[in-house]
């Protein structure tokens, strides 16, 4: 099981690196467009389209690392006030919902990607790009998102609540030292 968790974390590290590079490329492309348009009066025909395509890669490659790091939106109004048992149960239920969402997203993204490969269409953009050259990253990113959710779920199920309670020192009661 440790190998599975290590594999998921390693792939997430690579995905995060690739998405970071893509963010830098978008930044450079948009900066070039701004300078080219406003300083030289020569707008580019490729910068906005390339940025749009790169954003697809950024989204799908950063999806799983964001889940692993806890960066996705979470509502934790009651979570902080619950005792350890219900907190753990809530975490497991939330991760089960994430796994279900990942499966639904994978099904939808797979259908769109399959159609892109089947019909071999192109985007209506200034840069002639086949849809399949962009869409392939969708299922890859969602599969990694699913694997990350399963990894987090397995870790939550394996966690021993007694060991966790013993590792965290109890707070002293108010008024005592």
- Residue-wise pLDDT for 22-39, tens only, equals 999 999 999 999 999 999
Confidence of residue 176 (pLDDT cuts 50, 70, 90): low
pLDDT of residue 161: 52
**Based on the structure, what is the number of domains in the chain?**
1
Q: How far apart are CA 28 and CA 48, in angstroms?
A: 11
Residue 59's CB: how many other CB atoms inside 10 A? Answer: 15
Sequence-ordered alpha helix ranges (H) in the chain? 2-38, 47-69, 84-119, 132-135, 137-158, 161-167
The average confidence (pLDDT) of the chain is 88
pLDDT of residue 162: 47
For residue 144, give its domain range: 2-165
130 forms beta bridges with 122
User: Is 149 inside any structural domain?
Assistant: yes
User: Is 175 inside any structural domain?
Assistant: no
Q: How far apart are CA 109 and CA 106, in angstroms?
A: 5
Give helix 2-38 / helix 137-158 axis angle, nearest 10°.
140
Confidence of residue 77 (pLDDT cuts 50, 70, 90): confident
pTM of the model: 0.84
Q: How far apart are CA 62 and CA 59, in angstroms?
A: 5
Sequence-ordered alpha helix ranges (H) in 120-136? 132-135
User: Is 172 inside any structural domain?
Assistant: no
């Amino acid at each position: 099981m440790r190998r599975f968790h290590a594999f998921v974390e390693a792939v997430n590290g690579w995905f995060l690196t690739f998405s970071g590079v893509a963010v830098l490329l978008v930044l450079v492309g948009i900066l070039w467009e701004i300078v080219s348009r406003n300083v030289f009066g020569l707008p580019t025909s490729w910068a906005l389209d390339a940025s749009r395509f790169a954003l697809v890669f950024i989204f799908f490659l950063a999806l799983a690392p964001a889940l692993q790091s806890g960066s996705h939106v979470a509502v934790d109004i009651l979570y902080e006030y619950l005792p350890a048992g219900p907190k753990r149960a809530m975490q497991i239920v939330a991760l089960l919902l994430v796994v279900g969402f990942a499966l639904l997203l994978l099904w939808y993204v797979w259908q769109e990607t399959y159609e892109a490969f089947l019909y071999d269409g192109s985007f209506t953009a200034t840069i002639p790009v086949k849809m399949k050259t962009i869409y392939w990253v969708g299922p890859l990113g969602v599969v990694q998102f699913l694997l990350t959710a399963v990894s987090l779920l397995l870790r939550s199920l394996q966690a021993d609540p007694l060991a966790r309670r013993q590792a965290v020192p109890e707070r002293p009661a108010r008024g005592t030292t």
